[in-house]
Amino acid sequence: MSRAANPICVALDFADEEMVRSTANAVAPFAGVFKVGLTALYGAGTDLVGDLAKDRPVFVDAKLHDIPAQVEGAMTSIAELGASYVTVHAAGGFDMVKAAVGAAGAGLEVLAVTVLTSLDDAEVDKLGFAGTTEDGVLRLAERALDAGAHGLVCSPLELAALRGRFGDAADLVVPGIRPAGAGADDQRRTLGPREALDAGATLLVVGRPITAAVDPATAARRMLESIAAR
Ligand code: C5P
């Protein structure tokens, strides 16, 4: 994926199908990609993926992490939905990522999640990762890319290190995007949208700064304007 004309991917994190659809409609003029994650997939179901995909490329944030056979089975079904991007956890290991890529087939880009953006260094340390958070991200990234992943999900704080190590070989998709003045919510490794693009992001995943705003369309438009202005 080269950087999309509009790199803003809006995370439609609602369990209610009508909320997913109405928010998608409202932000569509200012969104490059729609993302449905665990809240929408389990709450509203997978049928809406095909409908959303008529409007914009859809990112199914399935975050698969299981034995290779299970992930292959799930990915075979996800590949039927009409999505353009899907996630697996890099921590599932080489064989799992490889099975996911094989089952996804052509046209569905598999992104490997490295270390969740909701984890800070202290929690990463307690979880037993050797070295810094960045070390962990680089190790997971290398293994996932070797297994055939098309891109990575990382925090904007690791973009420079990942671009330094892998160049343009991988798409780098970054959640944890927070415009100046926005609350962090449960995110810990965050950066502004313009800064993340300048550091090498391919796609910016933005949820609550847009979807929890009083007027999501205006919030999305402002973010688009902020990244267009240099
Ligand atoms: O509301 P907010 O902007 O924090 O939403 C971020 C979105 O990105 C959520 O849908 C979340 O599932 C997703 N995500 C994340 N961190 C990752 C991978 C995905 O926050 N490492």
Digit-by-digit pLDDT tens for the chain (230 residues) are 555 689 999 999 999 999 999 999 999 999 999 999 999 999 999 999 999 999 999 999 999 999 999 999 999 999 999 999 999 999 999 999 999 999 999 999 999 999 999 999 999 999 988 889 999 999 999 999 999 999 999 999 999 999 999 999 899 999 999 998 888 998 898 999 999 999 999 999 999 999 999 999 999 999 999 998 65
Choice from 87, 111, 117 to test ligand 1 binding pocket (greatest atom count within 8 A of CB): 117
Of 206, 201, 230, 205, nearest in space to 219 by CA: 206
**HEC sequence for the chain:** CCCCCCCEEEECCCCCHHHHHHHHHHHHHHCCEEEECHHHHHHCCCHHHHHHCCCCCEEEEEEECCCHHHHHHHHHHHCCCCCCEEEEEHHHCHHHHHHHHHHHCCCCEEEEECCCCCCCHHHHHHCCCCCCHHHHHHHHHHHHHHCCCCEEECCHHHHHHHHHHHCCCCEEEECCECCCCCCCCCCCCCECHHHHHHCCCCEEEECHHHHCCCCHHHHHHHHHHHHHCC
Given the residues 35, 63, 98, 126, the one annotated as active site: 63
| pLDDT score recorded for residue 130 | 84
pTM for this one? 0.95
| pLDDT score recorded for residue 7 | 97
Domain 8-228: CATH superfamily is Aldolase class I (3.20.20.70)
Quick check: CB of 153 below 6 Å from ligand 1? yes
| pLDDT score recorded for residue 197 | 96
How far is residue 138's CA from residue 149's CA, in Å, rounded to a whole number? 14
| pLDDT score recorded for residue 110 | 98
The number of the ligand 1 atom at minimal distance from the alpha carbon of 186 is 4
Task: Measure 128 CA to ligand 1 centroid, in angstroms.
Answer: 23
Please indicate whether residue 63 is annotated as part of the active site: yes
